Amino acid sequence: MNAVDTLVAEEPLELRVGGRPLAVTMRTPGDDMDLFAGFLVSEGVLRQCDELLTLRYCAGRDEAGQNTYNVLDATLADGVADLPSLQRALVTTSACGLCGKASIDSVETTTPYSLRDDDLVVPTSWLAGLPQRLREEQKVFDRTGGLHAAALFDPATDELLVLREDVGRHNAVDKVIGWGLREDRLPLRGAVLLVSGRASFELAQKAAVAGIPVMAAVSAPSSLAVDLAERVGLTLIGFLRDPTMVVYSGVQRVAD
C-alpha cells in the first residue's frame, strides 16, 4: 500500500525596495509581508511602523501567466534607507558571515533599545510549559514534519501573541518580528521569544534588535549567541524541555 506524504513548500521570494532588487530568500510561502518587514528590522533599516509605507506583490508570473506571489516590493518613508549601502552591507554579510568580536560589537552599538532596562521576570514553571504550547499550535508541522517555528508570548497576560512557521528558522523569527513592526509594537518589551530549534548568534541578534528581553530555545545555543546575550543584556535559555532548562545569561529575569 502506497502512503501519501505531504511535503513542506519552499519557494524563492525576491525582495525589492522601491522597485529595485535587494535580496532573494528561500522561504515557505505565507506571511511574506511579515517576513520582509522583519528582515528590514533585523538589518537595521526599520524601527517604526510609519517608516514602512507599503508592501505589495508585483511582477512574477508562471508559464500560465498567473502571479506566483514570489516578488515583494516595499516602499519606505523618505530618508529611511540608502539602498546601495544596504545592498553592499548584505553582500558583505553573506560573504564573511556573522562571526567574532567585531560582529558582537556591531550589534551592541546598533541595537536601538536597551534590553537591560526591561525588568521582566518570568517563573520557571511558566517557561517550562511553553514548548508544549508551541507544539500544539504548529499546524503545518503536523502535516509535514519539516518546519521551524517561532512564537512570541506575553507573560503578563499568558497570551501567545503570534506564531509563525517556516522552512528557515531565521525566516520564522523575522516573520514574528515583522508582525511586531506592522502591529506597531516595537520594541517588543516584556515578551518572550521561543524558537523550536537551536539558538544561533543570528537569532539572538534578531531578538536583541527587536527589543525582546528573553529568548528561549528547545535545543542548544551557540557560544557566540551566549556571548552576544551577555553583552546586550538578553536572557538566553536553552534546552527548554519541561521540567528542565538551562539559563545561559540574564538569570535575574528567571524566578525559581
Q: Is 3 part of a structural domain of the chain?
A: no
Q: Is 110 part of a structural domain of the chain?
A: no
Q: Are residues 88 and 37 in the same domain?
A: yes
> Which residue's entry shows cell 534588535?
209
Q: Are residues 243 and 154 in the same domain?
A: yes
Q: Is 170 part of a structural domain of the chain?
A: yes
**Domain CATH number, residue 218:** 3.40.140.10
Q: Enumerate residue ranges in the chain where pLDDT < 50.
A: 92, 94-97, 99
Q: How far is CA 171 from CA 11, 118, 246, in A?
A: 13, 25, 25
How many angstroms from the chain centroid is the CA of residue 174? 3
Burial 109-121 (b: 16+ CB within 10 A, else e): eebebebeebebe
Question: What total of structural domains would you count in the chain?
Answer: 2
Q: Are residues 140 and 216 in the same domain?
A: yes
Question: What range defines the domain where residue 187 resides?
Answer: 115-255
- Active-site residue numbers? 96
- Please give the full DSSP string across 168-214, using - where no structure is assigned: SHHHHHHHHHHHHHHTT--S-TT-EEEESS-B-HHHHHHHHHTT-SE
Show which of 85, 105, 125 is a domain's final residue: 105
**Domain CATH number, residue 95:** 3.10.20.10
Q: Which residues contact 236 (CB under 8 A, 6 or more apart)?
A: 199, 204, 215, 216, 221, 225, 226, 229, 247, 248, 249, 250
Q: Give yes or no for a contact between 22 and 36, defined as CB atoms under 8 angstroms apart.
A: no
How many angstroms from the chain centroid is the CA of residue 103? 18
Show which of 87, 105, 123 is a domain's final residue: 105
State yes or no: cis peptide before 187, omega within 30 of 0.
yes
Q: Are residues 82 and 164 in the same domain?
A: no
Distance, CA of 69 to CA of 218 (rounded, Å): 33
Q: Are residues 90 and 164 in the same domain?
A: no
Coil vs helix vs strand at 135: helix
- Please give the full DSSP string across 49-88, using - where no structure is assigned: GGGEEEEEE-S-B-TTS-B-S-EEEEEE-TTS--HHHHHH
pLDDT at 96 (0 to 100): 45
Q: Are residues 172 and 197 in the same domain?
A: yes
Q: Is 4 part of a structural domain of the chain?
A: no
Q: Is 5 part of a structural domain of the chain?
A: no
Q: Are residues 160 and 221 in the same domain?
A: yes
Q: Is 6 part of a structural domain of the chain?
A: no
Q: Are residues 74 and 155 in the same domain?
A: no
Q: Are residues 136 and 18 in the same domain?
A: no
Q: Are residues 101 and 170 in the same domain?
A: no
Q: Are residues 78 and 120 in the same domain?
A: no
pLDDT at 94 (0 to 100): 44
Q: Are residues 119 and 238 in the same domain?
A: yes
Q: Is 1 part of a structural domain of the chain?
A: no
Q: How far is CA 95 from CA 21, 41, 89, 92, 98, in A?
A: 18, 21, 10, 5, 9
pLDDT at 137 (0 to 100): 86
Show which of 105, 130, 150 is a domain's final residue: 105
In the beta sheet, which residues pair with residue 247?
A: 237
